[in-house]
Every structure is written in C-alpha cells, then in structure tokens.
Structure 1
Amino acid sequence: MSSITEKAKNQKQVLTLNEFSKRKVVEHNSLITSIAKMDKTPLKMFELAVSCINTEEPPKDNTVYLSKADLFAFFKVSDNDKHSRFKQAVRAMQKEAYFEIKEEAGKGFKFKSIVPIPYVEWTDYHDEVLIRFSPEIMPYLINLKKNFTQHALSEISELNSKYSIILYRWLSMNYNQYEHYSAKGGRRAKQVESYRNPSISVKELRIMTDTVNEYQRFTNFTKKILDIPLKEINDNTTFKVSYEKVKKGRSIDSIVFHIEKKRMADDNSYKLDDRDYQEDKARKAETEDMLTVQALKSPYTKLLMEHFLLSYLDLTDTKILSGLQAHVYPLYDELKDLRGLNGVKDHLSYVGAKREDYSRKNITKYLKKAIEQYLPTVKRQDL
C-alpha cells in the first residue's frame, strides 16, 4: 500500500501555504444555516478541508490531503505543543463535532445529524494528513447547482470565534445572493436589497448559533453573539457590518444586518482601500507574482494581444497582468460559459474598436469596466 505522501502527490490535493489567499470554501446553504455542534477549531478545520475539494472533479473516496506544516500555519500555531494540540483537535472533530441539518421534506421537515469527518490519518514521519469526509456530508459540498455559497478561506483563517465564523458564513450567503441577483436580475429591487440587509429572528439566530439555552440575558446574548463577533468580522474580513434590533411589543423580535464590502482602490493593483486591511509587502509581492505567472499562461492574454488591447511592453508590467488575472479573466470565464470562446473574441473585437486613448493609462480598469457592463446584458438575454 502506498504512503500518504505518495497518494497525495498522485491526487494533487495537498494544500500549500501559498494557496491560502486564493482558496475558496463552497457549501450548500442548508449546511450554512445548520447547527454546528462543535467549537471553533473543528469548524475551522472542516472549512480548511472543504477548500481542498474541486467540485468539478470530486475527490476519490471523499478524501483530501493537507500538509501538517500548512495546517499549523493556517491556525497560526508555532509552539512546541502544536502536535498534541493537533491530536486534540482531531479527537474533538471525530468524537464531538457534528452538524444538525433541517430540510423541507413533504409537508414538514427532515432532520439530519452528520459527523462530517469521521476519519483522519497521519504519521509522525510524513508531513501530509489524510482527511476523509463522510458520504452523507458530500452532497452538501459537491452537488452545488443551486443554493450554495462561496467564501474566502483566508478570511475564515482570521476569525477566532465560533460565533464569528457562523455569522460570517451566514452573512456571506446573503451577500452572495445580493451580488448574484444585482448582476443577473430575476428579483425585485426590494428583494435584492433584502439580501444586503438580511433579517433573522432572535429565535432563529439562537438556533443557528446553538445558544437556545445560553446567554439568557439579552445584553449578554447581544455582546457574545453580535457585538464581539461583528467586531472581529469587521476587523478581519472584507465585510463591514452593522445591525439594528427590531422590537415586537416590548421584546426584541429580530435583528437586521447591514452589509457592505470595503471599497477597492481605483488602480491596476486593486489594493484594499482600508488601512486596517493592507497586506504586508512580502505577501502582496508573492500574490502578485503568482497572478502574473497565471496571466502569462492564460489564453485571454494572447487574445488581448491579437486584438491590440495589450502590448509587449504591458507583458512586463506585473500590476497590469496580476490585475487582469484577478479581476478581469474570471469575468471572461463567465462570458465563455455563456457564449463560448467565440463570444469572448467578439466582445474583445468590439472593445478594441471602441477603445479610447485614455484607456491606455489604465487598461485593466478599462477592460474590467467593459466586461462588467456587457455581462448583465448577456445574462438577461439568457433568462
């Protein structure tokens, strides 16, 4: 039988530290609104493992592989006791952690209790850790044709409270729908805005955070479930969230959240325009280099050259290439899915013909604006 390391190399599922910034966690909304019967460490480890799943090519035997070194880096653990703490986390995940999922079924509801990761394997002489998901949890991680949410693994890694993670996932679920229907249409304006300003009853919030029998004084509940987690979310993610209490009679009946995304700087590098969210220089340079390499290999770069939208001089500018790879090429992928590669070529032909001189100063911004204006039209035509 081959070693864990050999299996990992064969399946190319090992998560590397450099990939944290681009890893996404994709989950069905039923899982996000379920009750996570676990503390923050198993929940974060679950999110980390989920980020390794390629939904287009689901892992064989429901198995993914992580690097122990990168696992410790994800949790920011560097002390001498890290291996015993890792074992404790695995033990907690397998013996105490599970999801309670409630789904509509016929005239009522179906309730499921699922241990998400029943098997973990590692050795003391190899770096890789094998993680195997339960078959019952997999439909919520790979059958994602509708009602699913995507969020950034790098933001989850910065959250150190179970309630922060639960709220962040739920807020992401709502804001993703706001962005989706804002671009695609299919919902009334009022309903679209409700996704950016979602409401949840206090009863539902207590159930989702598993605090039905905890923090009975509402001031304690507000502090532990809202104030402290939202401060952590605001300090460590791209969300800026506030809330208001809605009364029914004398009691607080529900909570309305107001979600905003922090603004981006208006230049080719697309740096966050909030000083609290500036990455350190080394990480920026590493990310920029990685995106530049990807852009140079992308077929879209060749197409831009063919339509005279990029010059050979532009190919030496890492800010232009990294900006294209991060913010323009994903939109071209959407267009390609809708109209095929010829659809992308037709769009670039039109953009090239309409190009003004001022666009040469900021080609990334120009191309991003052009595809952002064009995509909603294509999507409306397909409704």
Structure 2
Amino acid sequence: MSVILSERRENLKEISNRKVVEHNDLITGVAKMDKTPIKIFELAVSCIDTKNPPENNSVCLTKKTLFAFFDVTDTNKNFRFKKVIEEMQNQIFLINKKTSKGNTYERVVPIPSIKWSDFDDIVTFRFDESVMPYLLDLKDNFTQFALMDIMEMTSKYSIILYKWIMMKYNQFTHYEQGAKRTEQQLESYRNPVMEVAELRRLTDTLTQYKQFSDFEKRVLKPAIDEINEHTRFAITYDKIKKGRSVIAVKFYGARKEIPEPFYKQEQQDPAYTQAESLKKQQEVQDFIDLQQNPYTLALLNTQLIGVRDMTDIELMVTLYRKVYPLYDQLAEKVNRYEVERHLLYVKEKQQAYSKENIAKYLYKAISSYLKTI
C-alpha cells in the first residue's frame, strides 16, 4: 500500500497546477458519462493550450498520470484502464443552447479516438471536431477551475455541480471587479438559485429519485459534502419551497483556506509533528462539518456573518466549537425556533464595533441569554 501511495503522490505532482477551461455551454450541458470518464475527459482538456489548436485535435498523456485517477488500492489498473476507455467511446455530452427561436440541441461524443500500446507509456486522445469550439480560443462565457479539485471526488454529481457553481462564482468575481452589474445581479452569481427541474436535467436524474428527499439524500447532499471536503470552496444550500414542494435550491459559497494536499506536504520541516498534523486535520474536518450546520445558515440569513466570513477557518471553527453548542442548549431548553428569534434580536441590537470580533460578540450574547432562562 505504501508503494502505491508513494507512486500516486508522484503522479499527482505532475498535474497539481493544471487548470481546466471550458465554454459555459459545455458546463451546462448534460454529461451522460460516469465518474471516471468525466475525470479523464477533464484531465485531457487540461492539456490543451486554449489559444492554439493541438495538432490533429490530439493530446498525449502517460498511463501513470491516468492511473492517478483510479482507486489507489486497485491492483489491476491496466484492466480497469481498458474498461474505462471502452466506456468513454459510448458516452456523450448533450448540449442545450437557448436561441431567439427556441432551444437547439447537440449530441457530442467528446473523445471518439484513443490510442495506446503495450510497449510504451503514452496514451493519445483525439477530441471530436464538434467539441473543439467549446475548448479553444475562449474569449468570454467560459469557466476555469483547478483540475485537482475534482481528483478525489467519488461521484459524478459532485463534479457536475462543482463545475456549475464554479461557473457562477467566476461570473461573480468578474463582474465584482468593475463591470456594470446591480447588487441583485451580483447576488444571483454569488449565491445562485437553480430550479429543481434544471438541477435534475443537469445531473441527468429526470427519471430518478422522484421524491425530493431521495434526490437530496442520493445526489445533492453527497455532492455538497464532497465539494466541501475536496475543493477550495465551502458550500451550503437552502431549499426554496412553494407550499410543501421544493421548487429550487439556493447555494451559498465562498473560497476557503485549506492545507496543502497530502501529495504536497513536506515532512522535512522539524516543526511538522504528528500532533500538529492531527490538530490541523481536526480543524479542517470541523470546518467542513460546520458548512452544513443549520446555525451557519441561520447566521448567514440574519447577516450576522457574511460569505467572506466563511473563508476564515479560525473564526468559523471558533463558532462551531464554542458558540454552536450553546445554541444547542437553547434549542434543548426551549426549541430550535428560539435560536432563530435570538439571532434576530442579536442582529437588531448589534453595534458596528462588534463586527471586528463577531465570535466573541455571539458567544457573550448567547451566554447572557441562557442565564435568563
């Protein structure tokens, strides 16, 4: 196992700084592909120089690099590699474009030709001509994301939803830097809303998980958990209802500071001890857990914290460890709605100076309130 892990670290170093750039029509298209073929497609795209068409629309990768996408415990990677290649030949993107006359549809087999041999390590991928406009010379309406963010994902839904969220976040950062957009328009990019019907179309689950509770359990929540665990983003979501039915989902996201991945960690630093490593791992795990905590969403909704605050690991972990347990006490003594009423009251009475140390302010407020009950 240690030999396999060491080999995988070396393979990952080679692609650790790669970016994937794709037209937004490809991001919003339906990837009728399984998890590993999607990953390999994104890896191949990361090899393209977006300004210069590759010769014969082809790029080359090594088998070792491709194997980094497979499970590290897999002892028969050559066999698995061939199976994945077979799968890729039969899987497609269904691209939906909106025009003034109505919708148009394009069915694309992105990589129809793949060549390899038994006597060397090179694998050649040839992209179909029809997919190249979505990958080359992109001047607008494109999305860029880090290839490493999708490396450890185990679900295709995680990859699909992450790419869509990145598309919206990239639009937000672009327009925030001076392009003329209203605050409402910026909010729609920063915290985008997607109708459930569109979410099902994007994830290719129109005929699956008919009850939203099943869809949330099987698709939405696991995808959000993986995005929070493996990427540079912290994501939460809120369900929008009409009557008793969930009709849309609103996503809240922000960049976060995370430790270097395992393949980059350097053990030579004498200050790097096992205890410190475990402490950092626990802090990151707490940070991931709190993204889905209902108190985080309540604080966001009352504007006691903002999306940018969620990128501050020290602040958010302090809230998770010291403040949230007190909210649990209040919910247990009264009910969970009392926590929401308390936060609304705290927001109403908040002074500007408290924003400089919001964790201390919230801790003092709930501690004082608990003493009155």
User: What TM bracket, shorter-length normalisation?
Assistant: 0.5 to 0.7
Aligned partner of 2:195 in structure 1 is 201
RMSD: 1.8
State the AA in 2 paired with 1:167. L
Shift, 1:159, TM fit: 1.1
1:129 paired residue among 107, 111, 123:
123
SS of structure 2 residue aligned to 1:88: helix
State the AA in 1 paired with 2:75. N
Question: In the aligned structure 1, how far is the partner of 2:14 from the partner of 2:142?
Answer: 22
1:120 paired residue among 114, 120, 124:
114
- Cα separation, partners in 2 of 1:103 and 1:123, compared to 1, 3 Å: same
Aligned partner of 1:110 in structure 2 is 104
Question: In the aligned structure 2, how far is the partner of 1:153 from the partner of 1:57?
Answer: 20
Stretch of structure 1 that moved more, 200-209 or 65-74: 65-74
Shift, 1:284, TM fit: 4.5
State the AA in 2 paired with 1:174. K
Aligned partner of 1:90 in structure 2 is 85
Shift, 1:26, TM fit: 0.4
Aligned partner of 2:261 in structure 1 is 279
| Contact 1:30–1:102 under 8 Å retained in 2 | yes
Structure 1: gaps of 5 or more residues:
1-14, 264-271, 287-383
State the identity as a percent.
49
Question: In the aligned structure 2, how far is the partner of 1:93 from the partner of 1:279?
Answer: 29
Shift, 1:112, TM fit: 0.5
- Cα separation, partners in 2 of 1:40 and 1:145, compared to 1, 3 Å: same
Aligned partner of 2:55 in structure 1 is 60
Question: In the aligned structure 2, how far is the partner of 1:159 from the partner of 1:46?
Answer: 14
SS of structure 2 residue aligned to 1:42: helix
Residues 299-354 of structure 1: CA deviation (Å, up to 9, x unaligned)? xxxxxxxxxxxxxxxxxxxxxxxxxxxxxxxxxxxxxxxxxxxxxxxxxxxxxxxx
Question: In the aligned structure 2, how far is the partner of 1:76 from the partner of 1:56?
Answer: 33
Structure 2: gaps of 5 or more residues:
1-9, 268-373
Shift, 1:77, TM fit: 4.1
Shift, 1:75, TM fit: 2.9
Aligned partner of 1:27 in structure 2 is 22
Aligned partner of 1:149 in structure 2 is 143
State the AA in 1 paired with 2:218. K
| Contact 2:36–2:69 under 8 Å retained in 1 | no
| Contact 1:72–1:78 under 8 Å retained in 2 | no
SS of structure 2 residue aligned to 1:100: strand
Shift, 1:73, TM fit: 1.7
- Cα separation, partners in 2 of 1:19 and 1:193, compared to 1, 3 Å: farther
Question: In the aligned structure 2, how far is the partner of 1:150 from the partner of 1:193?
Answer: 20
Shift, 1:285, TM fit: 5.1
Question: In the aligned structure 1, how far is the partner of 2:171 from the partner of 2:75?
Answer: 43
TM-score (norm 2): 0.66
Aligned partner of 2:338 in structure 1 is none
Question: In the aligned structure 2, how far is the partner of 1:17 from the partner of 1:245?
Answer: 37
The answer to whether structure 1 residue 43 and structure 2 residue 42 are counterparts is no
SS of structure 2 residue aligned to 1:241: strand
State the AA in 2 paired with 1:35. V
The answer to whether structure 1 residue 236 and structure 2 residue 230 are counterparts is yes
The answer to whether structure 1 residue 190 and structure 2 residue 220 are counterparts is no
1:273-352 counterparts in 2 under 5 A? 277-280=259-262, 283-284=264-265
Shift, 1:76, TM fit: 4.2
Between the two proteins, the alignment pairs up a number of residues equal to 258
Question: In the aligned structure 2, how far is the partner of 1:113 from the partner of 1:168?
Answer: 22
Stretch of structure 1 that moved more, 75-84 or 127-136: 75-84
Question: In the aligned structure 2, how far is the partner of 1:186 from the partner of 1:234?
Answer: 31
Aligned partner of 1:340 in structure 2 is none
4+ residue stretches of structure 1 with deviation over 6 A?
none
State the AA in 2 paired with 1:279. P
Question: In the aligned structure 2, how far is the partner of 1:171 from the partner of 1:24?
Answer: 16
State the AA in 2 paired with 1:260. A
TM-score (norm 1): 0.65
State the AA in 2 paired with 1:55. T
SS of structure 1 residue aligned to 2:199: helix
SS of structure 2 residue aligned to 1:175: helix
